[in-house]
Structure 1
Amino acid sequence: MPELKLDLSFKRADGGNAKISIEDAKPDITEAQANSLMDLIIANNIFTPNGSSLTAKSKIELISTDVTEFSVV
């Protein structure tokens, strides 16, 4: 089963960029839910990376990774 990670990318008030990665994301998360989550994070100033507020959404990615483990012999 693929591993899922949700990457939320933001613009910061100081002109920089910030990314929040959520491991083991729900496979049925919708674009609307991800956008709402980002809006909530920005509106409530929940994270301030390097002391700078998040001001805008820049990208959302749901990343699926298939992992195949091999035996060590």
Structure 2
Amino acid sequence: MRRLDLLISADLDQELTAIAEGAGICRHDVLRRGLAVLKAARIARARGLPHIGFTTDPARLDLELLNVL
């Protein structure tokens, strides 16, 4: 493990806390999951899937991200 010190604005700090509380997870897990989404997007783009979006019809998805929140 490595330690990372991060300076963020008060607004971003409030948003990070709100997301963590809403999901019932720690603030550092919010950051880890956010990085996992960015990693998945990078991999998807390399596979020719350049768009990220939301849909009401999961059958239309080429790639699904699970356990984000």
TM exceeding 0.5: no
* Structure that is richer in helix per residue: 2
Higher relative contact order (CA 8 A, sep 6+): 1
Larger radius of gyration: 1
TM-score normalised according to structure 2 size:
0.30
* Structure that is richer in strand per residue: 1
TM-score normalised according to structure 1 size:
0.28
